[in-house]
Structure 1
Amino acid sequence: MSFQTFDDPAGGRDHAARLQALRARMRADAVEALLVPRADPHQGEYVADAHARLAWLTGFTGSAGFAIVTADEAGVFVDGRYRVQVRSQLDTAWFTPVDWPETRPAEWLRRALPGGGRLGFDPWLHTRQEVETLRSGLEDSGIALVALAQNPVDAVWPDRPAAPVGVARAHDEALAGETAADKRHRLAASLRDAGQRAAVLTLPDSISWLLNIRGSDLPRNPVVQGFAILADDGRLTLFADAAKFDAALRDRLGGEVSILPPDALADALRGLTGPVRVDPATAPEAVFRLLEARQTTIARAPDPAILPKARKTSAELAGMRAAHHRDGIAMVRLLAWLDETDPDRLTEIDVVRRLESLRREAGILDISFDTIMGAGPNGAIVHYRVTHASNRRLARNQMLLIDSGGQYRCGTTDITRTVCLGDPPAEAVAPYTAVLRGMIAISRARFPKGVAGSHLDALARQFLWHQGRDYDHGTGHGVGAALCVHEGPMRISRVSDLALQPGMILSNEPGYYREGAFGIRIENLVAVGPAKAGPEADQGRQMLEFETLTLCPIDTRPLDRGALSRDEGEWLDAYHARVRQALAPHLDGDTGRWLERATAPLA
């Protein structure tokens, strides 16, 4: 069980010296520029210490971003979620924050290398799609992409940690709702139908889902890191350290699953007969190059496990509901304790530790991500992670943003509540109300089959837009069932064209952030399912709607109640009644009375 620490994983180190050493290595490799992504060969959001190259080099610890280093510049590219954080973590005498995607890498490189040059990259850390996009952007620039045999950062990282070898475990078939053998043969049938001989799987959550296993290679995400090749007859070869699997788990996987060491992957790829299915959006460029070197026919198509994993079974949905019930009890106990405690006596770390303790009592295996506990101005840092250096004391009449979650054996949770520690700041009332109205709009949405996340995103933003406000993150991400808290491919965002389908679970989390003052985000998890009959008979359309999974009161103190429509008020009252009914029997007297007050009807 691994819980949050509060040290800055990249702080207090001489990043300038590291940059100078890297530039010397670049000269030895004869490259004028180098890509340094925050990525591992599996393209996961969380990376093991061995792959934290961007943080080691620059000091930036956000979960997304990349650097481009030349002889004279080192740009660190981040999106709107990290623009406050990156400025606080970089030594700007050596590293320059770059707003991405407003500034594209190819555009930046054309300016940085006007005479052209060689751009080095590690082909295991970039997808084929990323490489093709960059190559297209650099066309006619005189800048050539060069795949390097050794990562230059690794060459100058003297104490680089070893790759993780976490113990793997079986995931209960009763929670999965389908045996691993049935999953393998179902996906194999889809390969045969497409005329494909095999598929290369590079995403650890796809492999873990497919084999009904869970792991401990990474904190927060219970996946087994490795690669796999699924044949069209249902047999699977897993490339992972054998030390992760005990004899009982090997027996459970069965004779159709073979385990080989990771360094056997290259030879296995060279020996495949095509067509071989590979996902250009998720698989490393190196996989494509190994297949192309043998002129193996490649079928470019999505990871075959992506959509089946996203469409949760009834058993997985039941497990997620159970996890949210447990989690709701922990959250209510925390919020009641917060209201009873003088905020001047607490720091952000105190509240994080209290919440983790309550979740331990609720039965978590791990937290699902590092808790975001942002008091006052720290709440405006979208993916803030409290450290001993940043730890802020709470204060009366201040907003506190709490974004957290747990990994339970039966499911994964992710919840955000923004609470007022006394009277709300006057300037927070209007945006708080707009954020809540947007969250309610998504919760109440009823939409026809075929609608994508991009179609719904504006529902969450509309009330902020009326105020001239917005937020720089998506409205919702996919969530795994006892897997990764951020799961593709479904999203509620401006750029997601994937149709939402029954069984998908997403977050619903609009927000607003005023730098230097406060942050606001309200988040529930929702599951897509068939819509109940509407007020009129559906006119030949298959309609869908969301089931809210999260069970926790929403703070009404910063709310302008007069701004809510009758339907919005009725939704909030009904939600609070459901929370009260579900959780009250499991709370002690004082906490139950707090819940009664927190969920009282608005009128």
Structure 2
Amino acid sequence: MTAPPTAPLRAPLTAHAARLAALRTELAARGLDGFVVPLTDEHMSEYVGSYAQRLAWLTGFHGSAGHAAVLADRAAIFTDGRYTIQVRAQVDGDLFEYQDIPATSATDWLAAHAPAGARIGHDQWLHTRSWARTTAAALAARGAELVATETNPIDAIWQDQPAPSLAPVEVHADQFAGRSSADKRAALAATLRDRKIDCAVISALDSIAWALNIRGRDVDHTPVALAFALLHADASVDLFTAPEKITPAVRDHLGQGVRTHDRSAFAAHLATLTGKRVQVDPASGVAGIFNALEAGGAKIIEGRDPCVLPKAIKNPVEIAGTQAAHRRDGAALTRFLHWVKAQPPGAEDELSASDQLLSFRRETNMLEDLSFDTISGSGPNGAIVHYRSSPATNRPLEDGSLYLVDSGGQYRDGTTDVTRTLAIGTPSAEMQDRYTRVLKGHIALATAVFPAGTRGGQLDSLARAPLWAAGLDYAHGTGHGVGSYLAVHEGPQRIASSAAYAGSDEPLVAGMILSNEPGYYKTGAYGIRIENLVLIEEADVPGAEKPMLRFRELTLAPLDRDLIEPSLLSAHEIAWIDAYHARVRAELGDALPEETRGWFEAATAALG
């Protein structure tokens, strides 16, 4: 589980009221009766650069998924179950109605509330074409119209809006990538030629980074550079990014097969592809891309970004790198877990604890960045799935409470994401029961053996069943893909209910990395989550009549024995815990300082 950039829980309400009023004034001046504000950017990114955080600026909401719709006399903000508590803390309910996804979408809300004859604006570079078509049809049925704006009206009123980052592009060395960019581009181009495609639009930032073996620092915690790319069937690439970002070293790395252009020239260039068969991913290609291609007379072929699947299937060098990163990161996290347990209850708080964890990671001397802002939640704050601690909400780690810490690091050789829940003092019997049920679900998924071609949605219930048996559940997916020194949320694979999340119907393939993170959250009391990253690998099953797969743990860090109730565990589950702790002990023991080792030996001792 990961979280968006840190932000104060709520800016002054008068500021957001003024911003909403200014937006309505700007819309009226443009002859518009409403506007839709998504969280994303021109690349359909989950995490966006500071210049693109329009939803946060307008509403105060700093989650990683959501959008708002504004009419002349009312407005609404739309979030899913992960943000039920957070959105109410960060967004003024007198300004924005709270709407839950998927029960209600902005399209549904506008179709119900936009007046007949209304002109509702949207930025065509921030929405997919399918969204625009669906919303236009819904509004037309009401006698209203969806209008693409020439420029974004929020940009016109956001006086101190940051400029897009000009941080230099960085070379991602082959020693970490495992394949040269030329090799990747040749393989990708072959898939285009097989479909008689002239070129493919690559707009997802992590796909561009992967294909060209480059990284960047334009988005907090995700090492990508702001760019668009066109991949041609001859394996050449047109890369559109700010010229200031291309250093001589990057120019040499890209070579003659990559032509560079100013990012601002991208739309005009699309209009020159007259008669070309151009592939665009409808999931990551915004409506503006489709519109520019259509205006230029290109023949659009919808198809998935060709980088998505090969990026998700890690090569041997990337697998070895992520294993090394997890050993390094696990040692830092284990030092932190010992540190928390050694403090008297109440002596530390959420902010001091997350600072200490960052310090231990920095001491590896290999940390490039966090992979997301650390979720550091004590007591009831831990029940907020994507909680962001701030001076206004900071709580001490009090006696009798639970402390949930979800964190990760970005290293050149791998990306980590791990959650541990700790008892501060003596936990209640209920806390132990809930923790052990979450752990049982975690083990059920971790030990699953399944046929090649199994979808993540088919495995999701394994992690929930022990909670379901007690009438409990959690309102987030069980697993997401993870990149290799790239996005901590990476598709296409996912472990989640098929009805709830895109990607849960993607066949699982050896080499993919996923999280395994069931949880339980008692509003106003505590939160529990246990998260490891796992690698999908081939399973050697005697007598198997088809290829089988299994998960291998990547994350190495002790579980809190104080929260485990052995009477709820089967012999199989106890054996898994003991084997996992034995592996943690074997792989991390030599990397820990002397003052940690006594606690570490006890923390990883057998339950029996």
Shorter-normalised TM-score: what interval?
over 0.9
- Give the whole-Å Cα distance in 1 for the aligned partners of 2:183 and 2:70: 47
1:504-540 Cα distance to aligned partner (Å, 9 max, x none): 101100111111000000000011111123xx410x2
Q: Which residue of 1 aligns with 2:39?
A: 38
1:164-179 → structure 2 map (5 Å cutoff):
164-179=165-180
| AA matched with 1:329 | A
**Paired residue secondary structure (2:438):** helix
Aligned Cα root-mean-square deviation (Å): 1.4
TM superposition shift of 1:139: 5.3
- Give the whole-Å Cα distance in 2 for the aligned partners of 1:425 and 1:120: 53
Q: Which residue of 2 aligns with 1:8?
A: 8
Q: Would you say 1:529 and 2:532 are equivalent positions?
A: no
TM superposition shift of 1:137: 4.2
Output the TM-score relative to the length of structure 2. 0.96
| AA matched with 2:511 | G
TM superposition shift of 1:135: 3.5
Q: Which residue of 2 aligns with 1:72?
A: 73
Q: Percent of pairs identical after alignment? A: 48
TM superposition shift of 1:588: 2.0
Q: Would you say 1:95 and 2:60 are equivalent positions?
A: no
TM superposition shift of 1:243: 1.3
Q: Which residue of 1 aligns with 2:511?
A: 503
Q: Would you say 1:516 and 2:517 are equivalent positions?
A: no
**Paired residue secondary structure (1:69):** strand
1:290-338 Cα distance to aligned partner (Å, 9 max, x none): 0111231101000010001001101001000000000000011001111
The change in CA–CA distance for 1:503 and 1:378 in structure 2 (over 3 A counts) is same
Check conservation: 2:456, 2:507, Cα contact below 8 A: yes
TM superposition shift of 1:6: 6.3
TM superposition shift of 1:589: 2.2
Q: Would you say 1:455 and 2:451 are equivalent positions?
A: no
Ranges of 4+ aligned residues in structure 1 off by more than 3 Å: 4-7, 135-139
| AA matched with 1:409 | R
The change in CA–CA distance for 1:137 and 1:430 in structure 2 (over 3 A counts) is farther
| AA matched with 1:572 | I
Q: Which residue of 2 aligns with 1:185?
A: 186
1:408-447 Cα distance to aligned partner (Å, 9 max, x none): 1110000000010121123222221111111111110100
- Give the whole-Å Cα distance in 2 for the aligned partners of 1:205 and 1:7: 24
- Give the whole-Å Cα distance in 1 for the aligned partners of 2:261 and 2:116: 46
1:174-210 Cα distance to aligned partner (Å, 9 max, x none): 2111100010111001000011000000011000000
| AA matched with 1:531 | A
**Paired residue secondary structure (1:574):** helix
Check conservation: 1:10, 1:61, Cα contact below 8 A: no
**Paired residue secondary structure (1:344):** coil
**Paired residue secondary structure (1:132):** helix
TM superposition shift of 1:141: 2.3
- Give the whole-Å Cα distance in 2 for the aligned partners of 1:441 and 1:404: 23
Q: Which residue of 2 aligns with 1:594?
A: 599
- Give the whole-Å Cα distance in 1 for the aligned partners of 2:151 and 2:253: 37
**Paired residue secondary structure (2:561):** coil
Output the TM-score relative to the length of structure 1. 0.97
Q: Which residue of 2 aligns with 1:115?
A: 116
> Greater CA deviation, 338-347 or 111-120?
111-120
- Give the whole-Å Cα distance in 1 for the aligned partners of 2:593 and 2:158: 53
- Give the whole-Å Cα distance in 2 for the aligned partners of 1:41 and 1:6: 22
- Give the whole-Å Cα distance in 1 for the aligned partners of 2:40 and 2:445: 32
Q: Would you say 1:557 and 2:562 are equivalent positions?
A: yes
Out of 324, 345, 352, the residue aligned to residue 322 of structure 1 is 324
1:106-138 Cα distance to aligned partner (Å, 9 max, x none): 321122125352221000001123223334544
| AA matched with 1:121 | H
Q: Which residue of 2 aligns with 1:436?
A: 439
Check conservation: 1:10, 1:55, Cα contact below 8 A: no
- Give the whole-Å Cα distance in 1 for the aligned partners of 2:300 and 2:367: 42
- Give the whole-Å Cα distance in 1 for the aligned partners of 2:527 and 2:469: 19
- Give the whole-Å Cα distance in 2 for the aligned partners of 1:422 and 1:471: 25
> Greater CA deviation, 154-163 or 576-585?
154-163
**Paired residue secondary structure (2:176):** helix
Out of 430, 446, 449, the residue aligned to residue 449 of structure 2 is 446
- Give the whole-Å Cα distance in 1 for the aligned partners of 2:514 and 2:367: 20
Q: Which residue of 2 aligns with 1:213?
A: 214
1:32-66 Cα distance to aligned partner (Å, 9 max, x none): 22100111101111111111101100111111100
Aligned residues: 597
Q: Which residue of 2 aligns with 1:159?
A: 160
1:232-251 → structure 2 map (5 Å cutoff):
232-251=233-252
- Give the whole-Å Cα distance in 1 for the aligned partners of 2:244 and 2:10: 30
Out of 276, 290, 293, the residue aligned to residue 291 of structure 1 is 293
Q: Which residue of 1 aligns with 2:501?
A: none
1:484-520 Cα distance to aligned partner (Å, 9 max, x none): 1111111001121110111110110011111100000
**Unmatched segments (≥5 aa) in structure 2:** 499-503
Q: Would you say 1:465 and 2:464 are equivalent positions?
A: no
Q: Which residue of 2 aligns with 1:374?
A: 377
Check conservation: 1:334, 1:358, Cα contact below 8 A: yes
